[in-house]
Amino acid sequence: MIMKLDTEQRDRLLSIGFPVLLLLIWEFVVRVGWLDARFFPAPSSVLVALWDMTVDGDLLGKLWLLPGLIGQGDWGGVQQVIAQGNLWVSLFRIFAGFLLGAIPGIVLGVLMGMSRSVRVAIDPVMSALYVLPKIAILPLIMLIFGIGETSKIVTVGISSFFLVLINTTVGVRDIDPIFFEAANNYGANRWQMFWHVIIPGALPVIFAGLRLSLGTALIVIIAAEFVAAQYGLGYLIWFSWQMLEIENMFAGLVVIMLLGALFTGGLQALEHRLMPWDREERAGPANIPGVEAAT
Amino acid sequence: MTAKIKAVGVTKAFSSGDRTVTALHDFNLEVQEGEFVCIVGPSGCGKSTFLRILGGLATPTSGQVTLVPGKNGAPLQNIVFQEYAIFPWKTVLDNVAFGLEMRGIGKAERYATASEWLRKVGLSKFADAYPHQLSGGMKQRVSIARAFANDPEILLMDEPLGALDAQTRAVLQEELLRIWEASRKTVVYITHSIEEALLLGDRVVLMTAHPGTFKCEFAVPFKRPRTFELTGTAEFSRLNYAIWKELQGEVLRAMEQQL
């Protein structure tokens, strides 16, 4: 019997079903011994490891201490508990660095998009700096900011900065000049031009930059934590590998993947809220007759 | 009658590298207050360039343009662009209220004015829609409503209906007639359609092929209020043909230049 599914249901079934199928195959292959469970633990044992890490406080900190500490008004203790949760530590570094990089990136990007002189002056410098792997300058940053939190946040900030900067510049330059002319003709001053034309006009491309840079922030912080941290997801993975707790290592990887998916989803939701005008359905190859209707 | 627009010896040259192209050569025009002047010319004759100069988006290489401000403190001029130029990121209502917002007029007042104009162009139902949800004709209605809502003394229209199909165009021409006849603003209207110029304008100014300059002008004798019915009369056809005979040579010359 063939079940009739509408497009949405079919999409959902595929997007959930296929990964589940892959995991089942993995589980099977390990169980029957075709894959070495010491190096490629089965998904079920990774899940168990993830659970263990959560309940013993490795991942989220010893959260069960919180109600007591809050009751006593021991805020220093609360902070300490959070600071021992590897996930929170990484998240803090990612978002602090992301903001540190994205805000100046947008500001300078708008300036570069608007002013030819600024662009001509800054472009070569930015192009040269952009290609530097940011993790390669971590030692330099630690030299300047010490080995504490600041240096990690700055590293993330620098890598976010360039991606947001480049996208913002392109976004502003791609605004059709007619919109500037129209705004100008209706008497917009500089500030009004900024809020009513430049920002909304460049927003779709700025968002593409934000999405890239949030992903990169995740990559960079994990790498930085590999080499120079006592806490954080990267540290957790590296430590697990050195202790040969391979399940824990995989559990760490799983958490990172979940974060990546969450970030993308979160930004997309924000995009939807901030740009209600940008919901034009673009025709993909699937919309062209003759190509299998895969929508 | 007082002159609202005076353009004397307006010349515009564009230079790229060591080549200079004269788009507009020694063009003169005077427009009276409350007059609807249509400028007709072959493609590339610099008529849009002239309008951009009037609108302050370009400066003439030589010559002088004067727009005489009135006393009421209203904005002097606004342009209705051929490509609509309404903001895709603003709702229809916010687009129409844009000029008022730039002038610092409060939300309640500018929305009231904008809604009134949306009603006049028949788009009340689409106040909260975004431009990508509208057809070309509806977008141009928004663009026209935006200009009228801002209530400028002079309206500069750059082939506003040029991108529309013939039927939509006829409907919008009638709408434009109705709206304009109620307000009698000073209008400079660029078009390449003689019929459109005759239907809308008080005066039709012809321009020569590139480099564009004044060729001749026709006073349009038809009484207002006008409707599309006018285009079926013998007098309309006669004038239409008379203007075409003048323009024909210029159009052929313009086509030869493109070869």
What's the pLDDT tens digit per position in A124-154?
Answer: 998 888 888 888 888 898 899 988 889 999 9
Across the interface, whether the CB atoms of A277 and B130 are under 8 A apart is answered yes
The number of folded domains in chain B is 2
Contact (Cβ atoms closer than 8 angstroms) between residue A187 and residue A178: no
- pTM of the complete model: 0.83
| Residue A191 in contact with partner chain B when CB distance is under 8 A | no
Are residues B131 and B230 part of one domain? Answer: no
Across the interface, whether the CB atoms of A185 and B57 are under 8 A apart is answered yes
Locate B20 and state its tokens: 């200079």
| Residue A200 in contact with partner chain B when CB distance is under 8 A | yes
Q: State which residues form the domain around B141.
A: 88-151
Chain B contacts of A178, Cβ < 8 Å?
81, 83, 85
Mean local confidence (pLDDT), B52-59: 93
B103 to chain A, minimum CA–CA distance in Å? 7
CATH code, domain carrying B221: 3.40.50.300
Across the interface, whether the CB atoms of A178 and B150 are under 8 A apart is answered no
Predicted pLDDT of residue B53: 95
Are residues B228 and B175 part of one domain? Answer: yes
Predicted pLDDT of residue A279: 65
Are residues B139 and B96 part of one domain? Answer: yes
> Where residue B256 falls among pLDDT bands split at 50, 70, 90?
confident
Distance CA B203, CA B200 (A): 9
| Residue B140 in contact with partner chain A when CB distance is under 8 A | no
Chains A–B, number of C-beta pairs less than 8 Å apart: 58
| Residue B60 in contact with partner chain A when CB distance is under 8 A | no
Are residues B140 and B52 part of one domain? Answer: no
pLDDT tens column, A91-112: 999 999 999 999 999 999 999 9
Note whether residue B39 is domain-resident: yes
Note whether residue B146 is domain-resident: yes
Note whether residue B83 is domain-resident: no
Predicted pLDDT of residue A57: 84
Across the interface, whether the CB atoms of A201 and B89 are under 8 A apart is answered yes
Nearest chain A residue to B57, by CA: A181
- Return all residues near B33 (Cβ < 8 A) that are at least 6 apart: B1, B2, B3, B4, B186
Mean local confidence (pLDDT), B22-32: 92
Mean pLDDT of chain B: 92
Note whether residue B10 is domain-resident: yes
A5 to chain B, minimum CA–CA distance in Å? 29
pLDDT tens column, A47-91: 999 999 888 888 888 888 888 888 888 888 888 888 888 999 999
Are residues B167 and B141 part of one domain? Answer: no
Distance CA B157, CA B188 (A): 6
Are residues B43 and B22 part of one domain? Answer: yes
CA B193, B195, B198, B199 torsion-angle sign:
negative
* Residue carrying structure tokens 């008497």: A187
Q: Identify the domain boundary among B126, B151, B176.
A: B151
Note whether residue B137 is domain-resident: yes
Locate B177 and state its tokens: 């007639």
Q: Identify the domain boundary among B98, B127, B151.
A: B151
Dihedral, CA of residue B135, residue B136, residue B140 and residue B146, to nearest 10: 40
pLDDT tens column, A189-244: 999 999 999 999 999 999 999 999 999 999 999 999 988 888 899 999 999 999 98
Are residues B228 and B127 part of one domain? Answer: no
Q: Identify the domain boundary among B125, B151, B177.
A: B151
Are residues B248 and B129 part of one domain? Answer: no
Domains of chain A (ranges plus CATH)?
88-232 (1.10.3720.10)
Note whether residue B169 is domain-resident: yes
Are residues B104 and B67 part of one domain? Answer: no
Predicted pLDDT of residue A291: 46
Q: How far is CA B194 from CA B60, B161, B163, B231, B240, in A?
A: 27, 13, 16, 11, 6
Note whether residue B82 is domain-resident: no
pLDDT tens column, B61-76: 999 999 999 877 789 9
Are residues B70 and B161 part of one domain? Answer: yes
Chain A contacts of B90, Cβ < 8 Å?
196, 200, 277
ipTM of the shown complex = 0.91
Note whether residue B81 is domain-resident: no
Are residues B97 and B223 part of one domain? Answer: no
Are residues B229 and B174 part of one domain? Answer: yes
| Residue B76 in contact with partner chain A when CB distance is under 8 A | no
Q: How far is CA B221 from CA A27, B155, B234, in A?
A: 89, 22, 13
> Best mutation site among B89, B139, B144 for testing chain A: the one with the most A CBs within 10 Å?
B89
Nearest chain A residue to B103, by CA: A187
| Residue B130 in contact with partner chain A when CB distance is under 8 A | yes
Helix (H) or strand (E) holding B80: strand B77-80
Q: What angle do CA B228, B230, B231 make, to 5 degrees?
A: 80
